[in-house]
Amino acid sequence: MTQKEPPLKADLHCHTHLSDGQHTPAFVVERARANLVTHLAITDHDVSQALPQALNEPGLKLINGVEISCLWEAFEIHIVGLFVDPTNSHLQTLLSNQQMKRRERVAQMAGKLTALGTTGLLADLLAKPALALTRSHVADFLVANNVCKNRQKAFKTHLNRSGKLFVAAQWCDHTEAVRAIKAAGGIPVLAHPGRYAMNRAKLRRLVECFTAAGGEGLEASYPNIAHDVSQHLIQLAVEHGLYLSTGSDFHDATAHWTDVGKFPTLDRAAAKQGIWHHPVWQQQGIATE
Ligand code: AMP
Ligand code: MN
Ligand code: MN
Ligand code: MN
């Protein structure tokens, strides 16, 4: 990790309408190009699709990714996989299973909603382009059908743990997610670690377990991250020998707090531990300068 740091803007976490993003892959790629992103990984929830080569543009390298919802102890955590081979059967088996659990969860939510007097949730969601059905889709349905005033309220009254439609998800264990990402040739990255409802001691334990399971990176920069949280995550990564990743977690162009390519840049010292130094990234032969 001694080479001169390249001028790169790597957005390694974003969503499309294949999960709960609002836009097509082509839209997200175009927005990345417009925002001068140099490397873009599309990381939909529990979906990994090969990005059409046609979307490749000069100056912007596309990376196949995924964001897997999984369990660590009693916590739901998210693990991003970068450079995964979307055709790998080990990964596809795990993702198909997660997608099936998501459909079953929505079916159970639809049953509860019908009992409350509103029908049509499951059919509405199955007609969408999404391969992974999420609570965001349910929230949009609740708003469109005048059950809730807006998305935030939908989460608060219906979709959070104490909500009227809540159904606990049966995600895979974090060790299985890491194994599947590695089987598919990818790099496992702990997503947005500062967003989990855990204190610093717990977070340290999570990073230890994630590393022991074969995890290789963590996100140290994403929108609205406090500087001290970012510094703490960088410190944890240094202690555990993890690479640092960055990403917007973009979902929707109308949300002004986020955009493709929008997140604090790592400082020069931290960038030396950037995930672009990982051997898997280097083997791709995608230029970082
Ligand atoms: P799921 O993976 O199906 O449980 O859906 C979770 C998704 O819902 C996340 O990826 C977020 O995009 C979104 N989400 C979670 N909590 C909220 C919230 N309070 N308000 C708006 N969106 C949320
Ligand atoms: Mn989401
Ligand atoms: Mn996430
Ligand atoms: Mn995400």
Predicted local confidence at residue 1, as pLDDT: 47
Residues 6+ apart with CB under 8 A from 92: 48, 86
Distance (Å, whole) CA 164 – CA 159: 7
Predicted local confidence at residue 239, as pLDDT: 98
Please tell me what DSSP assigns to residue 45: B
Can you give the pTM of this predicted structure? 0.96
Predicted local confidence at residue 256, as pLDDT: 82
Predicted local confidence at residue 288, as pLDDT: 57
Strand, helix or coil for residue 41: strand
Q: Into which CATH architecture does domain 99-159 fall?
A: Orthogonal Bundle (1.10)
Distance (Å, whole) CA 190 – CA 220: 9
Closest residue by Cα to atom 3, ligand 1, is 134
Give the mean pLDDT per block of 10 residues along the chain (289 residues).
65 98 96 96 96 81 97 97 98 98 98 98 98 98 98 98 96 98 98 97 98 98 96 98 98 92 95 96 74
Q: Rounded to the nearest 5°, which phi and psi values hold at 241?
A: 70, 35
**Which residues line ligand 1 at a C-beta cut-off of 6 Å?**
20, 45, 69, 134-136, 151-152, 155, 251
Residue in 16, 18, 136 to alter for ligand 1 test, most ligand atoms within 8 A of Cβ: 136
Predicted local confidence at residue 55, as pLDDT: 81
Predicted local confidence at residue 4, as pLDDT: 52
How far away, in angstroms, is 110 Cα from ligand 1 center? 17
Closest residue by Cα to atom 9, ligand 1, is 136
Domain borders along the chain are 99-159
Predicted local confidence at residue 287, as pLDDT: 60
